[in-house]
Amino acid sequence: MISLQIATTLNPRPKLSSFFVLILLAAFLMATGCKQSIPSPKPVTPVSSLTPTSPIPGIFRDVTSEAGIRFQLSNGATGNFYYAESTPGGCAFLDYNRDGLPDVFLVQAGSLVQSQGQPPRPHCALYRNDGGGHFTDVTHEARLDFDQGYAQGVAIGDFNNDGFSDIFITGLNGCFLLQNDGAGHFLNVTAKAGVGETGQNRYATSAAFGDYDGDGFLDLVILHYTKWTVATDKVCFNAKNKKSYCSPEVYEPVIPTLYHNNGDGTFTDVTHSAGLDKIKGRGLGVTWIDYNQDGKEDLYIANDLMPNNLYKNLGNGRFEEVGLVSGVAYGADGKTLAGMGIAVGDYTNEGWESLIVTNFSGQPNSVYKATASGLFEDNTYASGIGSVSLPYLAFGVSFLDFDRDGWRDLVVGDGHIDPNVAESSPNVTYEQPKLLFRNTGDGKFVSMKDELGDMAHPRVTRGLAVGDYDNDGRLDVLANNVNESVELFHNESHDTNHWIELKLEGVKTNRDGAGSLVWITAGGKRYFAECRLGSSYASSSDSRLFFGLGTTTKVDSLEIRWLDGTRQKFTSPLNVDGGYRLREGGQPQADPSFHSVAINKTDHKKMDHKN
Amino acid sequence: MSMLRLLKNRRIQSLLLALGVVVASFWWWRTRPSPALQSYNQGKSLELVKMTGEALDAYKEAIRLDARFAPPYRAMAELATANGETAASIGWWKAFLERDPKAEHALCRLAQAEALNGLEKPAMKDAERELIQDPTCSRAHLALGILYARKSEATPAIEHLSVASKAYPDDPQIQLVYGKVLTLSGNYAQAEPTLKHIIEKDKRHAAPYLWLGYLFARRSTLPEDQKQAETFLRQALRLQPELPDANYELGRLLLLQQRAKEAAPLLQKAVLRKRHNVAALYSLAQAYTTLGQKESALQTQKAFRRESDFAARERVLLKSYVVNPNDIEIQLQLGLLELERGEPQAALIFLRSASLASPKDARISTALQKAEQLMKQQDPAPSKTP
């Protein structure tokens, strides 16, 4: 081959003068261009100046303002692009005062680096549901107005079985367990419980209560994102050479923590003995799910750019990772995806709960359809969700049968992490609308983009929770948005379908009924759901079980398997369009907080109670 | 009158004659073909009769005679490009541009060479500079399209490739790149005619069938689209039975249609042809699981985990490498990773580069030796005995 290597003498390279020009150019860029490329921090809009955006007709109406909720999640971004700014924060529906009306808890992050002379960091907020669609900020009177650090997520659960929902807040270098005293106050019992996660590099994102050993007390799993501190933050740039948030891959993954509830107000770290210390991850989404219905709560974790984990509960206090074998660890082509949030639900009404994992933009939201064999099929594209979700970076996600036709639909909260993303990826935006998918009943979903209503307003959504806050039998949606007002969406679907809601109350098993499996039969169809306390992203939805029933006007039978294996079956018809409370070992009682329902008294006596 | 008198003066006449000679000589000197130009022209003539070696010498002579004379640099750059020595061509293009900064389409040629040699940032910059000079330069659009496609930035990639595609409607490679980017970005309606156009020109080209199969498999779950996908993929395999991506795509399609028995052999083939194909390993493991072949499923899952782990580690290291290509530690880590993966050839690229920068580093030398040994084992010298 003829060599064409250029002789150095014939290739006058930039000499000293050019070198100086380069230095000057670099200095000029450093002095001007680089500074300009870092966006100035987005000022946190004072809550008082928040104005509602113009309403968009559709299924969901933004009622935040008229409900009296004035809250804005601040991630404290200052233009430094600290990694942790991309992950706050969650939200929750909980009934803290047991009046039957779901209240609202909102996670706040605030300033990441607190320096002297700075105003105090804002704290999370609790809004009491007063009924009539109105909420009151009770953060102060509930004694929740203290510095909770740079909070990330929330988990709700009655850890001491006193009947009142307790709150667990996750955060950077510290978590908080807040015990509900039943009188409207929350006591900080973190230290006593031993779940403070105060060690270095404890970047806790999502957490969830669940009773993995079936001893009647809720245990707690806490995910950690990466080994990260402000001091170890790295500087990264996007495709347009603008400073941006780094890929999680530049930080070391970490293991989750599993705390066993000792039943005396204290917890023991059992991560090692449970076998959860073997696989590191970048955990963002977590949920308890009895995927194989063996009566033991298994654990599913969505990891960012690492395989998702499904921990099968072996029943002896240990877990075995079966994510790959079960088909829920990777994307359809074996790629690791950027898992964020998790939705769980039986969307095919085949009696098994499937999993949906939200991912980064450019990746589809994964749909893992459950089968009776305990294996999952990847239905990402076949379900119709995959291709629609590609441009969106999604975090919070939940199933909800918004039109009560008996087929679980899906809502997804989107929003990119890079404020400058549109410059490098013109078809991707920082603020994004939510996605609503209607389940067509044949294993497929269609996007409801023209009927989103106010959900179409682009936001940077992180936490998302679902609940029927006004007990009208239509599931509403709560979304916590970065540097913008929280959104409470009222479901205004015009359908005339029927429904039923169930509130479980464990006696021998945990008070919340977590891990209990419920089957109802109505109109010749069988519906299934598991009672769980946390999913989505860093959030907790209304723990009552909601079943849309289509045109069916009565429930023929109700069957429940409590976590200890006890089964109860009620074969007398239940009236539809109302809520019931079901205490373990007792009869379904009409929930007085629902206006329309009354249990059919003649049928009540016929109820067959089988233990 | 006085002027005539002056001209009659013999001394003045001699002076004017001398001046005329000087001017004429200067004019002749200015317009004569320079030796450098002569050598350059000679080189061009030699190139025309395919005497490339001799042409090369003539260009070198032209440069020696006049280092500021630009055309032979361009000629050398063109020759290097034609000869596949794109790395060498970069230096020649740069040298040419220093001498003739406004030369037509030289920047885009430089950009192309830079892109081919992994110098993505300068390539992008040069192509963009070319477009400022000439917004219609199709080569610059092509280079930018490919560069954006590599960065997974579909929108600008499509914008640029669309211009290049119109400029070269019958170039199957350009049409294929365009069709592929359109397909991968979900622009199925545009991708379909682009890919079909390539087939119209050449029915024996397997790649467009593969991408049409890919497209139809993902466009919808309608049975007719799925069937069409299968037809295209089978045609791709008829034309090129060992095409690994076509084997994988068809295997994947059949697996999703619950036809694991038919999918398994195709996926096996895909894995055999591309042993680091994470996607094929994943699907094959699923096929074995569905078929109840537990042992094979376990083994394939193990292989998948290994490859998936390698891919993840490589991705992280390559991200750092792009930012710090001269970092010896990153080069060493990449070399070691490739060694662990059983790819000594890839390892050598990183280890040789690290060794040049740090020849006394024992870790690098050991790894380099190991890679060279493995290369010999994998590719033994041909036996001398008949």
Residue-by-residue DSSP string for A210-232: E-TT-SSS-EEEEEE--S--STT
Instruction: Quote the tokens at residue A611.
Output: 């233990």
The domains of chain B are located at 319-377
d(CA B113, CA B116): 5
SS3 A501: strand
Residues of A with CB under 8 A from a CB of B: 1-6, 10-12, 239, 247, 249-250, 305-307, 324-325, 327, 330, 332-336, 362, 375, 378, 381-382, 384, 387, 390, 424-427, 444
pTM of the model: 0.80
Instruction: Give A577 or B117, the one with higher predicted confidence.
Output: A577
pLDDT of amino acid A240: 74
pLDDT digits (tens, 9 = 90+) for A435-463: 999 999 999 999 999 999 999 999 999 99
Contact across the interface for A250 and B316, Cβ inside 8 Å: yes
| B residues 326..385 contacting A (CB < 8 A) | none
Phi, psi of A258 (to 5 degrees): -115, 125
d(CA B140, CA A308): 42
d(CA B48, CA A13): 31
Report yes or no: A245 and A81 within 8 Å, Cβ to Cβ. Answer: yes
d(CA A569, CA A571): 6
Nearest one of A248, A171, A253 to A206, comparing CA atoms = A171
Instruction: Quote the tokens at residue B346.
Output: 């890839």
Phi, psi of A62 (to 5 degrees): -75, 115
Instruction: Say whether pLDDT at A318 is over 60.
Output: yes
SS3 content of chain B, % helix, strand, coil (to 5): 80, 0, 20
Query: Does B92 contact chain A (CB < 8 Å)?
Result: yes
pLDDT of amino acid A310: 98
B130 membership: H or E segment, kind and range? helix B120-133
| B residues 276..335 contacting A (CB < 8 A) | 278-283, 285-286, 289, 297, 301, 304-305, 308, 312, 315-316, 319
d(CA A547, CA A556): 13
Q: Residue B378, CB half-sphere, CA atoms under 13 Å: how many? A: 11
Size of chain A in residues: 611
Contact across the interface for A334 and B308, Cβ inside 8 Å: yes
DSSP state of A389: H
The pLDDT mean for chain A works out to 88
Cα-based angle A282, A288, A291 (whole degrees, multiple of 5): 110
Facing A249 at nearest CB: one of B252, B286, B316: B316
Nearest one of A26, A125, A27 to A68, comparing CA atoms = A125
Strongest mean pLDDT among A191-205, A275-289, B314-328: A275-289
Nearest one of B72, B158, B95, B152 to B120, comparing CA atoms = B152
* pLDDT tens series, chain B, 386 aa: 567 777 788 888 888 888 988 888 888 777 766 888 989 999 998 888 888 888 999 999 999 999 999 999 999 999 988 888 888 889 999 999 999 988 888 888 898 888 877 787 888 889 988 888 888 888 889 889 988 888 777 788 898 999 999 988 988 989 999 999 999 888 899 999 999 999 999 999 999 999 999 999 988 778 899 999 999 999 999 999 988 799 999 999 999 888 999 999 999 999 998 888 999 999 999 999 999 999 999 999 999 999 999 998 888 888 778 777 788 999 999 999 999 988 898 899 889 889 988 999 999 999 999 999 988 887 654 443 33
Contact across the interface for A387 and B186, Cβ inside 8 Å: yes
pLDDT digits (tens, 9 = 90+) for A363-406: 999 999 998 888 899 999 889 999 899 899 999 999 999 999 99
Residue B98: closest C-alpha in chain A: A12
Contact across the interface for A424 and B315, Cβ inside 8 Å: no
Percent of chain A with pLDDT over 70: 88
Instruction: Say whether pLDDT at A157 is over 70.
Output: yes
Query: What is the 3-class SS of B183-213, one letter each residue?
Result: HHCCCHHHHHHHHHHHHHHCCCCHHHHHHHH
Contact across the interface for B98 and A12, Cβ inside 8 Å: yes
Instruction: Say whether pLDDT at A596 is over 60.
Output: no
Which amino acid, residue A286?
V
Closest CA of chain B from A410, distance in Å: 20
d(CA B75, CA B81): 10
Closest CA of chain B from A333, distance in Å: 4
d(CA A67, CA A54): 16
pLDDT of amino acid A57: 86
Residue whose token pair is 């280890």: B351
A483 membership: H or E segment, kind and range? none
Query: Does B94 contact chain A (CB < 8 Å)?
Result: yes
DSSP state of B319: H
This model of the complex carries an ipTM of: 0.75
Report yes or no: A511 and A505 within 8 Å, Cβ to Cβ. Answer: yes
d(CA A489, CA A483): 18
Quick count: other Cβ atoms within 10 Å of Cβ A361?
Answer: 22
Facing A10 at nearest CB: one of B63, B89, B156: B63
Size of chain B in residues: 386
DSSP state of A32: I
d(CA A527, CA A550): 12
